[in-house]
Structures are given as C-alpha cells and as structure tokens.
C-alpha cells in the first residue's frame, strides 16, 4: 500500500507496535513486515496508554495530530486482506494531509 500511495503522490510512514505480550513473536513479525516494527516494553506500555488492541490503526496527519482511530472490528472494515478493507484504509490515508 505504501508504494501505491507514493505512486499517487502521497508519502506516508507506517509503523507497527508489537505488544509486550508478543515479544516471543517479534522475529516472525520482523520477517513479514515491510515497515518498522517497534517493540513495546513494560516501561512504556504503549498499548495500554493508547487503549490499543491487535490490528487497530491510528492515522496521524503530517503535524502529528491523530486524525482517526480505526478499531479492528469497528464500523469501518480495516481488514487489509479484503478488497473493501484495503480500499477503506487506502482512501482514508489519501484524504489525510
């Protein structure tokens, strides 16, 4: 998706945060991710601070302001393995400045 967005003139940065409980799966994720994977720690506990859950998506604008929080399984399909989910996320990213 990042390449597709770049071809359309939208430069985006993507990153994933692996939960503290997912430390054992970190190497598996690193092998399949094409974007940076950050490892959460009990010191920062980012997942809890952001009230995040697996496959949630936070979209920020170029000023670092949260534009939309897409909860996995919420009213907007964000399953990137489906045509609708992929299109939804891509179109939202395209609309963000």
Write out pLDDT tens, residues 19-77: 998 888 888 888 888 889 999 999 999 989 998 888 899 999 999 999 999 999 999 99
Question: Residue 93 in 3-state DSSP?
Answer: helix
Beta strands in 19-96 (DSSP E): 37-39, 57-60, 66-70
What does the pLDDT read at residue 29? Answer: 85
Average pLDDT of the segment spanning 2-12: 91
- pTM for this model (two decimals): 0.84
Q: Minimal CA–CA distance to 54: which of 23, 85, 16, 86?
A: 16
Q: What are phi and psi of 83, to 5 degrees?
A: -60, -45
- Pick the more confident residue, 1 or 89: 89
Question: Residue 38 in 3-state DSSP?
Answer: strand
Q: Tokens 């399949």 belong to which residue? A: 32
């Amino acid at each position: 998706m990042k390449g597709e967005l770049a071809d359309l003139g939208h430069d985006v940065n993507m990153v994933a945060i692996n939960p503290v409980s997912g430390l054992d799966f970190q190497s598996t994720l690193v092998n399949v991710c094409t974007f940076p994977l950050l490892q959460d720690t009990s010191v920062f506990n980012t997942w809890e601070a952001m009230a995040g859950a697996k496959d949630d998506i936070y979209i920020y604008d170029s000023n670092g302001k949260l534009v939309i929080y897409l909860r996995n399984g919420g009213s907007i399909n964000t399953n990137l393995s489906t045509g609708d989910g992929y299109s939804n996320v891509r179109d939202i990213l395209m609309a963000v400045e």
